[in-house]
A and B are shown apart, each in its own frame.
Chain A
């Protein structure tokens, strides 16, 4: 098992995204650090458009994630519906 992770800037939009991530990936660990939020999971993590939209109450493009993203770890796959992070181990 390896840890995939994503870190977001600590701001209002990120709070909704974190909420969505927690809902779709129940086993994640959320760590608050100065000015940033780091979310870790074992081997796999997904950020899903539909869930973020539901939390934000508006349309949300997966590419908007880049506005608040600080760093990631894992193989990335991005399409219209979600962005996923994976380690194959």
Chain B
């Protein structure tokens, strides 16, 4: 008999979709117990549209090809001491933030998608999540391998996993993903699959990686873009999940909208650190944070929300505040790290005069007015040998866990403080967005492991800040922290460059 020709959609459906069955012997709800408690209504999983129809054999084939290329470059990079080709040793500090702050999130994404990949009742959605789960494992492992060579020549990368669980500013990314994983499976998908993957990771993996290329870092741009090639599948899954939830039942719309409001706000807060990496930590600049934000959030996100309007979904709450923040947050964050540079696991510095001019040009409405004067003052103090470090521990926002560094967006001289009282205790927030999130789920956010509170409670050793940094964070003091000027990183770099004939 002549075989009928199957197109890819039918083939995928036949190979995969009918694998599940109706239970006869046990309660199916016991096998998939987490589907209902969030209030999401799924009437028919078979309406799920597979975003990509990649069978495992094709997956192995294409992914192996990507890995082969990637590791050939890692090998070449190490063999040829590729670290010498970067523009400036300051650049490596962005990689330190990446490995200690971002790579562990890839790991949590692997765990989170393994959870949804086990728990969703529909086989199509499950399989899509499983593939994302294994991709995320790929990302953390390729990042560890890409950084492996840098770790041999620069400080601050060596104890990334230990640091991620403990260091004060790393609780920002960690709590973000803990929040998503601790939520129900549908909220996780809206949080990570949609909000984070579809809109926000682009800002990290596209313009920042392009920046890595522009700064001579072949290893990072290669893993970055190779990871992004999986991301296109993930983005499509994120969008498919949203459409599926909205089409399944009208009662899902307000729930999904609430999650979108929460996770876009939480995501923009998390990206503050990327804003700072783009504007201050790339010696050669590709585009400013503000420009990247306009392309990948305002334009791309705007198109997305226009498309979703037909389901009754609107732009995330506080989009108007978010729009103003692009002018400020990178400057406010880098200043905070500069002044707490003794307690950070990477080096900080004053931007060069050229860089200050670039910032003035890119931020004509805010930089000269609010931020440049600070740096001019810091320069004067540094010239007098009085490099400034703040001794006080910062107060943290209970929701996003970022120090209170953000200002009122209509008055950048005024730090923004909000608070709520829950069961007789007062909790503090950096913004209305973070306060709303807390007020909606106080019983969750009162659990936050706030690093500064923990230090005051004596849970991180001590008593002095130095003891905590050295013993609890396991930082090599004098090597991992402080200004780049006079650091072992800088000293070694100068030695290597002296050796260049």
List A residues at the B interface (Cβ < 8 Å): 2-5, 7, 9, 33-36, 63-64, 66-76, 78-80, 87-89
**How many angstroms from the CA of A33 to the CA of B292 in the assembled complex?**
13
Q: If the complex has contacts A5-B300, A69-B232, A73-B303, are A33 and B286 also in contact, measured as CB distance less than 8 A?
A: yes
Given A67-B229, A70-B206, A71-B206, answer yes or no on A80-B7 (Cβ-Cβ < 8 Å).
Answer: yes
Contacts A71-B202, A76-B51, A78-B53 known; A63 to B225 CB distance under 8 Å? no
Is residue B351 contacting chain A, with contact meaning CB distance below 8 A? no
Are A63 and B235 in contact, with the CB atoms below 8 A? no
Q: Are A72 and B232 in contact (CB under 8 A)?
A: yes
Q: Smallest distance from the beta carbon of A22 to chain B beta carbons, Å? A: 20
CB within 8 Å: A-B pair count: 91
Contacts of B304 in A (CB 8 A): 73
Residue of B62, B214, B225, B306 touching A70 (CB-CB under 8 A): B225
Q: CA separation between A35 and B286, bound complex, in Å?
A: 11
B302 contacts the other chain (CB 8 A): yes
A68 to B9 alpha-carbon distance, docked (Å): 22
Chain B residue with the shortest CB-CB distance to A9: B225
B52 engages A78 (CB within 8 Å): yes
Q: Report the Cα distance A68→B229, complex, angstroms.
A: 6
Q: Are A36 and B62 in contact (CB under 8 A)?
A: no
B213 touches A34 (CB 8 A): yes
The 10 closest A-B pairs by CB, nearest first: A2-B303, A35-B213, A34-B214, A34-B213, A70-B228, A89-B306, A34-B210, A76-B236, A69-B232, A73-B300
In the complex, besides A79-B9, A87-B307, 4 extra interface pairs with C-beta distance below 8 angstroms are A69-B229, A71-B205, A78-B8, A89-B306
Q: Given A36-B210, A80-B7, answer yes or no on A71-B62 (Cβ-Cβ < 8 Å).
A: no
Residues of A within 8 A of B300 (CB): 3, 5, 73
Q: Is the CB of A67 within 8 A of B62?
A: yes
Of the residues A71, A78, A88, contact of B310 by C-beta under 8 Å: A88
Which residues of chain B are within 8 angstroms of A74 by Cβ–Cβ distance?
A: 303
A80-B235 Cα distance, complex, nearest whole Å: 20
Nearest opposing residue in chain A for B231, CB measure: A71
B406 to chain A, nearest CB (A): 28
Which residues of chain B are near A68, meaning CB under 8 Å? 229
Q: Does B65 contact A (CB under 8 A)?
A: yes
Chain A: minimal CB distance from B51 (Å): 7
The interface residues of chain A lying within 8 Å CB-to-CB of B51 are 76
* A78-B54 Cα distance, complex, nearest whole Å: 11
User: In whole Å, how far is A39's beta carbon from the nearest beta carbon of chain B?
Assistant: 13
| Interface footprint category on B | 35 or more
**Given A75-B239, A87-B303, also A80-B8 (CB < 8 A):** yes
Question: Beta-carbon contacts of B228-254 to A below 8 Å, as 1s and 0s?
Answer: 111111011001000000000000000
Interchain Cβ contacts under 8 Å between A and B, 24 examples: A4-B303, A9-B225, A34-B213, A34-B286, A35-B210, A35-B213, A35-B214, A36-B213, A64-B62, A66-B230, A67-B62, A67-B66, A67-B229, A68-B229, A69-B228, A69-B232, A70-B228, A70-B229, A71-B206, A71-B231, A72-B232, A74-B303, A79-B9, A89-B306
Q: For chain B, what secondary structure do more than half of its interface residues adopt (helix, strand, loop), or is it mixed?
A: helix
Q: In whole Å, how far is B291's beta carbon from the nearest beta carbon of chain A?
A: 12
Nearest-neighbour CB distance to chain A for B124, whole angstroms, equals 15
Q: Does B2 contact A (CB under 8 A)?
A: no
Which residues of chain A are near B7, meaning CB under 8 Å? 79-80
With the chains together, A73 CA to B209 CA distance in Å? 18
- B443 contacts partner chain A, Cβ-Cβ < 8 Å: no
Chain A residues, CB < 8 A from B9 = 79
Report the separation of the CA atoms of residues A70 and B214 in the bound assembly, to the nearest whole angstrom.
17
In the complex, A71 Cα to B296 Cα: how many Å?
A: 11
Q: Which of B213, B232, B299 has the most CB of A within 10 A?
A: B232
Return chain A residues, CB-CB under 8 Å to B211: 34
Taking the complex as formed, is B383 at the interface, i.e. its CB lies under 8 A from any CB of chain A?
Answer: no
Contacts of A80 in B (CB 8 A): 7-8
A66 and B62 form a contact (CB under 8 A): yes
The answer to the question of B221 belonging to the interface, with a C-beta cut-off of 8 Å to chain A, is yes
Does the CB pair B214–A2 fall under 8 Å? no
* A61: nearest chain-B partner, CB-CB: B58
In the assembly, what is the distance between CA of A4 and CA of B307, in Å? 11
> Chain B's nearest CB lies how many Å from the CB of A72?
5
With A76-B51, A76-B236: A63-B58 Cβ-Cβ less than 8 Å: yes
Contact partners of B225 in chain A: CB under 8 A: 9, 35-36, 70
B283 to chain A, nearest CB (A): 13
Q: Known contacts A70-B206, A80-B8; decide if A35 and B221 are in contact (CB<8 Å).
A: yes
Contacts of B53 in A (CB 8 A): 78
The CA of A66 and the CA of B66, in the complex, are separated in Å by 10
Given A33-B286, A63-B54, A80-B7, also A71-B307 (CB < 8 A): no
How many angstroms between the C-alpha atoms of A24 and B62 in the bound complex? 26
**Could you tell me the distance between the alpha carbons of A73 and B286 in the complex, rounded to whole angstroms?**
21
Report A-chain residues with C-beta under 8 Å of the C-beta of B232: 66, 69-72
Chain A residue at minimum C-beta to C-beta distance from B51: A76
The closest CB in chain A to the CB of B302 belongs to A2
Closest to B218 in A: A35
